[in-house]
Amino acid sequence: MQKLENSKFNKTIGARFSPILIAIAMLCSISLLTRLALSIASFRKVDWSVINIIKIFAIGLFYDLAAASFAIIPLVIYLWLVPTRFYRSKTNKILLFIYFFIIIITLIFNAVSEWFFWDEFSVRYNFIAVDYLVYTTEVIGNIRQSYPINTIILVMVAITAGLLFLLRKLIWPTQFADKHFKKRSLYALLLLLIPLTVYFGVSHKWKFFSNNQYTNELSGNGMYDFGFAFWNNQLDYNTFYKTLPILQVENIIRNIFKDTTGKGLATDRYTSKMILHTQAEKRMNVVLISVESLSADFLESFGNQQHITPELDSLAKKGLLFTNLYASGTRTVRGLEALSLCIPPTPGQSIVKRPDNKNLFTLGSVFRSKGYSSRFIYGGYGYFDNMTEFFSNNGYTVTDRSALKDAEIHYSNIWGVADEDLFTLSMHELDKDYQNKKPFFAQIMTVSNHRPYTYPEGRIDIPSKTSREGAVKYTDYAIGKFLKEARKKLWFSNTLFVVVADHCASSAGKVELPVDRYHIPMIFYSPGHIVPSKFEKLTAQLDIGPTILSYLNMGYKSKFFGHDVFTMQDSAQRAFISTYQSLGYIRNNKLVILNPNKKVSTYKPDFKTGNSVKVANDNKLTNEAISYYQLASYLYQKKLYQQIQ
């Protein structure tokens, strides 16, 4: 009976194409196991209702099959075109086994990678994963320094070999009544139509069926999401998001800026306005320290009891602590964008990494126009994340780790030198400016608070490569050491130090934009100038630049979207938070979220837990959110956010 059934199957055209079924089954099986593993890892964070369980695995299977339709394209073409005589040969057997070895080990590698990516970001692959492909040296180096990669590879090879052995009789069917090429072509073309249909007919947003973000992400497929992110890492605002007539947008923004201080200052079109001060300009130096992944809840000042930021907590008591500041995004380039351009985050990739981003209106260009030395100092190599290209063409002089001598480097990992060495480099540059009698503005970007969390031993009481907390405490130590050395300098008494995070350590939450994952600290410190206190008004990261300039009483013509929060009316408080596609606007204790497909939603967020409850849309807030984001995209695309000559 078994022989008869095999004989019937072998007489069908399906026998030649049966390896395709094996490939699809392998992909779906490994994807299912990956989904189960991620579900267990996030068990307490997922909304496990019966309907959600069904949707997670049903929608997940759909996306698994969608991903499989692309993965089998090479195999379909090969099985279609290979002659029957060659198909029965041992050479073909070897080629099929090589193909399946590549497929299986790729699937296993993807599953392992997804596990680590989920551990870091609590999402399936997105444009961050695509972005990492550009910087293979840093990313591969980071992986090697963070995980036992050789052991992982050996285990993956062993599992792959085992699966190949178990599937060996299914991979190479040799007895079948082959059809003519014309008939075979029909089957092949039908199979190739499936990925074409998926490409044009399947939507990435079908997985967003729940208010719980973990639930939505589990229903996706990492490989499919990676492909989507690869082709969609930049999103045209007008195409994908809700818009208003540009004249209405201009009027809304103009009125917001007129109402900001209550002084009714006249503005030109868009965001251009004259910033005037009655008091004399302070020719103070400014050192802006942008700290990698420093969440507010790492500081004792915000309730942390681990004592991992003793230097910053001491500094907070001696300076002005901003308690209600929110980062623009979830990546360093978003923080750099907000601090330099003072512009709302545009959808897709950060402007820092986009083409045609030269000669923009930046904080550095304003300082340079005032006769300052304007610097960007980074502990890694400046080509990473396009930093050198962006900053050097937008009003800054860039200095990176290549300026350090070997003897000046106590420790380095794949991301850059230890933060204490970065500050040694910074001190050289600041001393040089002082000796040349130039006031200076320096933005210093730290790197140590980043996986693999390694740093020189003996500095703090937490061993290197132990935890994120250790990296936070080491960066805190390095900042404290830098300020201790700076106090000995003649330029110290005339310098404003600003310590702020680029973004939080984690952006994951149960909701689409968990507001607590954007809460970052900032301290203004300048003994003799800054009175110890707290600033509790809602502040956006893009307000930092204008606020620094206002503190110095600088008069200038501004294009910034940010406000001077010191003089800002209470009614003008707002903040911006985002992912690469979700654009959030916080005002009046509400959160408006703009999404692709011109979708707008409004929520009442809990600023402590990050959770939120959906409420009715507020037309005024919705129009403000649209206007800010639409105008930011418009000015960049039309080259209207350029430096003022």
pLDDT higher than threshold 60 for residue 462? yes
The answer to whether position 629 is within a domain reads no
Are residues 322 and 204 part of one domain? no
- pLDDT tens, 122-131? 778 876 677 6
Task: Tell me: pLDDT of 10 over 60.
Answer: no
Residue 136 has a pLDDT of 60
pLDDT band for 4, please (50, 70, 90 cuts). very low
Same domain, 139 and 207: yes
Determine the pLDDT at residue 642.
Answer: 92
Residue 538 lies in a domain: yes
- The residue whose two tokens read 């110290």 is 492
CA distance 632 to 343: 7
pTM over 0.75: yes
Instruction: List CB contacts of 507: < 8 A, sequence separation 6 or more.
Output: 121, 122, 330, 514, 517, 518, 579
Tell me whether residue 591 is in a domain.
no
Residue ending a domain, among 514, 545, 569, is 569
How do 495-501 and 285-291 pair as beta strands?
A: parallel
Report how far Cα 571 is from the mean position of its chain's Cα atoms. Answer: 30
Q: Are residues 412 and 521 located together in one domain of the fold?
A: yes
- If one compares 264 and 64, the residue with the highest pLDDT of the two is 64
Q: Domain containing 399 — which CATH number?
A: 3.40.720.10
Q: At residue 175, does pLDDT exceed 70? A: no
* DSSP 8-state class, residue 280: P
Question: What does pLDDT average to over the chain?
Answer: 88
Residue 268 has what pLDDT?
61
Are 214 and 294 found together in one domain? no
What would you report as the CA-atom Rg of the chain, rounded to the nearest whole angstrom? Answer: 28
Q: Is residue 636 part of a domain?
A: no
Domain identity same for 309 and 198: no
225 and 288 share one domain: no
- Domain assignment present for residue 640? The answer is no
Q: Which of 231, 255, 274 is the last residue of a domain?
A: 231
pLDDT band at 255 (very low <50, low <70, confident <90, very high): confident
pLDDT per position as a tens digit, 280-305 = 999 999 999 999 999 999 999 999 99
Q: Are residues 186 and 58 in the same domain?
A: yes
Flag whether 240 is in a domain: no
Model confidence at 12, pLDDT cuts 50, 70, 90, reads: very low
For residues 334 and 443, membership in a common domain is answered with yes
Domain that holds residue 105: 2-231
* Residue 639, in any domain of the structure: no
Give how many domains the chain has, as a whole number: 2
Most confident by average pLDDT, 70-84, 111-125, 414-428, 543-557: 543-557
DSSP secondary structure of 306-357:
S---HHHHHHHHHSEEEEEEE-S-SSHHHHHHHHHH--PPPSBS-GGGSSS-
Q: Which of 537, 569, 601 is the last residue of a domain?
A: 569
Residue 8 in this model has a pLDDT that exceeds 50: no
User: Quick check: 101 pLDDT over 60?
Assistant: yes
- Provide the residue type at 228 as one letter: F
Q: Which secondary-structure segment (H or E) carries 110? A: helix 90-121
189 and 303 fall within a common domain: no
Whether residue 13 is predicted with pLDDT greater than 80 in this model: the reply is no
Residue type, 493: S
- Tell me: do 175 and 30 sit in the same domain: yes
Of the ranges 77-86, 169-178, 321-330, 376-385, the best mean pLDDT one: 321-330
Q: Say whether both 226 and 313 belong to one domain.
A: no
Residue 116 domain flag:
yes
Whether residue 38 contacts residue 114, with contact meaning beta carbons closer than 8 Å, is answered with yes
Summarised one tens digit per residue, pLDDT across range 618-637 is 999 999 999 999 999 999 99
Return phi, psi of residue 606, to 5°: -100, 110
Strands 412-413 and 273-275: unpaired
Q: Are residues 29 and 109 in the same domain?
A: yes
Q: What's the confidence (pLDDT) of residue 263?
A: 47
Q: CA dihedral defined by 101, 102, 104, 108, rounded to 10 degrees?
A: 130
